[in-house]
């Protein structure tokens, strides 16, 4: 079983510390709580996703309840997050809890970050595949625009962007001009030495 690392956790949207920073429990403490997956799921269903009431019915605090879920169910919940392309809302609906509660659980354990990243990468793989299929089958303008939007926003890390690259060719060295003339990718040559403005 993986131990929860002693790290300062931050909200994904800001550099402010997460409001409910978890106490650093060992797995043995969490295992000693009167909880198991069946009890947790049953309590969440019975109380309609109301975490405080579900935790109270099991004799633990709200914070202990969320920390137990974040550590003991990370692989199960994380797999659902990855299967849903890193999106939390469909996973929260599956577990019958509000999205903000799932977001809080995810914020308690940095191991969820890998599942979210896997989901985003799977989504980008799908978009690239759809782009290739669209090119092969004859493009529809709506499909191409949707794919371009996805790849230009979430696919920037893979080199997709929308717009033109502007640079001052007069500032290129003779060596850079020679490399471009000899067939080297101009973006590779420029990337080594210049900052580019993408519009």
Is pLDDT of 68 > 60? yes
67 closest CA partner among 4, 140, 161, 155: 4
Q: pLDDT band at 14, cuts 50/70/90?
A: very low
For 34, the token pair is: 């009167």
pLDDT of residue 132: 74
Q: pLDDT band at 155, cuts 50/70/90?
A: confident
Output 20 or 29, whichever has higher pLDDT. 29
Q: How many residues does the chain have?
A: 199
pTM of the model: 0.58
Q: Furthest-apart CA pair in the chain: how many Å? A: 74
Residues 6+ apart with CB under 8 A from 167: 190, 194, 196, 197
| CB distance 54 to 43 below 8 Å | yes
For 178, the token pair is: 């020679």
What proportions of the chain, in percent to the nearest 5, are helix, strand and coil? 60, 5, 35
């Amino acid at each position: 079983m993986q131990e929860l690392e002693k790290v300062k956790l931050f909200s994904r949207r800001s550099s402010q510390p997460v409001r409910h920073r978890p106490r650093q429990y060992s797995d043995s403490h969490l295992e000693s709580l009167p909880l198991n997956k069946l009890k947790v799921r049953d309590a969440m269903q019975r109380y309609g996703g109301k975490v405080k009431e579900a935790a109270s019915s099991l004799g633990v605090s709200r914070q202990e309840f969320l920390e137990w879920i974040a550590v003991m169910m990370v692989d199960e919940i994380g797999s659902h997050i990855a299967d849903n392309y890193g999106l939390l809302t469909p996973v929260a609906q599956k577990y019958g809890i509000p999205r903000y509660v799932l977001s809080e659980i995810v914020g308690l354990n940095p191991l969820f970050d890998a599942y979210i990243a896997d989901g985003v990468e799977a989504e980008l793989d799908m978009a690239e595949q759809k782009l290739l299929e669209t090119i092969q089958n004859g493009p529809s303008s709506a499909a191409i625009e949707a794919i371009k939007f996805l790849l230009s926003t979430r696919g920037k890390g893979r080199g997709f962007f929308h717009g033109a690259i502007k640079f001052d060719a007069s500032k290129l060295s003779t060596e850079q001009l020679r490399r471009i003339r000899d067939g080297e990718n101009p973006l590779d040559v420029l990337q080594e030495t210049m900052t580019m403005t993408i519009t």
